[in-house]
Chains A and B, each alone.
Chain A
């Protein structure tokens, strides 16, 4: 309970589909059992790349802003957008820099590589070890539940609409079994030249 990872609560999930990827998060911000806010999104956009952050809320905000600074500097220096793969390595090296005093976050990345057109997702532990998954990545206080729902609902080569339904059901049903997550959700469906953001109401308890 006193783990920094489970003080504020929250959940995030990313999934691969056919020529598309999805990333979704809940909206709860809490202090242990007390819910403080029901509008605390955990997904941040960096051009072609989407970064989901769960864990200690203050670290979520700080890491999101640090990455904003780093990606902006990258764009100015290199006169190009950062690719999901490069972003993954940037996040990894940034987290490992704090090896002995880590940010208490569990990041998730989703995006489509502009050059290859291929979907990309990955997840990290709090010190930057990358998990390159071909199917889905989960993080947050509802990660156990998300593993169960994703493993049960996900299948290969889902189209954008089916992927939206799958990721939404996986998230909604997982957070309903986690007291620290829920209170609505954001879902991004990322296609090659289109991104659809949907807001899910979900259970408000």
Chain B
């Protein structure tokens, strides 16, 4: 009964716009700024964690989320919508991939799956678009064989591409995507979303260099946040997730040959404080 009379709320205006999507983007642009920077050996996702009251227990809420062991996500916009998307992303990474291939989806595949969920909300009856933009960061193990001969033949080429891994599933490495309420997605080297996205991106354009290392990327991420942050900056008001080397200590066991820990992990408040003191 319910779906018999459920028409899509997102309908074209005479000028060819879908204003519902533009409204959703407005919601994103009022949201707290988030940013992501891709380095040669990893990616950093960062955001500000704002509390409306000093009574809120900051440590129990979280804006940066793990989706698969190698993929993490952050948002700007509406928190409740984001949590729904995190649930759906985690679910689809299993039903649509791991349960079929017994391996986690590559970053681009997950991004496409999440983008499809968001697009469907712009065309289905009885629903509204999600009021969030996402930054999705992940690491892929490449499928191209690592040719030792090739690297030995051109030792000077080694410097030009610090790891040779430029992201994507063929060569492997880090990739960073933005997904919007319309369901469109873009790959970035570094970007920002939310309230101060424009100024943050201008800042990142100045600071970003090719061949950046993860440590530098975290540094730049904090500097960028510092430009836009409204309150105090400390381990409890900044949230950071990184995609880096495999964190074998997070596996919960050791001694299994070939087992690899998750590459995505959130930095603890203490770790963030340490970065901040060195800023």
Q: Is the CB of B144 within 8 A of A115?
A: yes
**CB of A116 closer than 8 Å to a CB of B:** yes
Cα A79 to Cα B144 with chains together (Å): 13
- A90–B101 Cα distance when bound, in Å, is 5
Given contacts A115-B144, A117-B145, are A89 and B169 in contact (CB under 8 A)?
no
Q: How far is the CA of A80 from the CA of B99 in the complex (A)?
A: 20
11 contacts between A and B (CB under 8 A): A77-B112, A78-B109, A78-B169, A79-B169, A79-B170, A80-B143, A80-B170, A89-B102, A92-B102, A93-B99, A115-B145
In the complex, are the beta carbons of A89 and B100 less than 8 A apart?
Answer: yes
A86 within 8 A of B: yes
Residue of B nearest to A97 (CB): B100
A 2-42 to B, binary, CB cutoff 8 A, 1 in contact else 0: 00000000000000000000000000000000000000000
Return A81 CB to nearest CB of chain B, in Å. Answer: 8
B106 lies within 8 A of chain A by Cβ: yes
- Which of chain A's residues 144-181 have a Cβ closer than 8 Å to chain B? none
Q: How large is the interface on B (under 10, 10 to 19, 20 to 34, 35 or more residues)?
A: 10 to 19
Within residues 99 to 150 of chain A, which ones have a CB less than 8 A from any CB in chain B?
Answer: 114-117
Interface positions of A (Cβ within 8 A of B): 77-80, 83, 86, 89-90, 92-93, 114-117
B150 at the interface (CB under 8 A from A): no
- How far does the alpha carbon of A90 sit from the alpha carbon of B169 in the complex, in Å? 19
Cα-based distance from A77 to B116 in the complex (angstroms)? 13
Do B143 and A114 touch (CB < 8 A)? yes
Q: A78-B109, A78-B169, A80-B170 are in contact. Are A90 and B100 (CB under 8 A)?
A: yes
**Bound CA span A110–B220, Å:** 48
Q: Among the listed B101, B106, B109, B145, which residue makes an inter-chain contact with A89, where contact means beta carbons less than 8 Å apart?
A: B101
Instruction: List which B91-131 residues lie within 8 A (CB) of chain A.
Output: 99-103, 106, 109, 112
Closest approach, in angstroms, between the C-beta of B168 and any C-beta of chain A? 9
- Give the residues in chain A near B102, CB-CB below 8 Å: 86, 89, 92-93
B102 and chain A: residue at smallest CB distance = A89
For B169, list chain A residues within 8 Å (CB).
78-80
Q: Which of A78, A79, A93, A114 contacts B100 (CB 8 A)?
A: A93
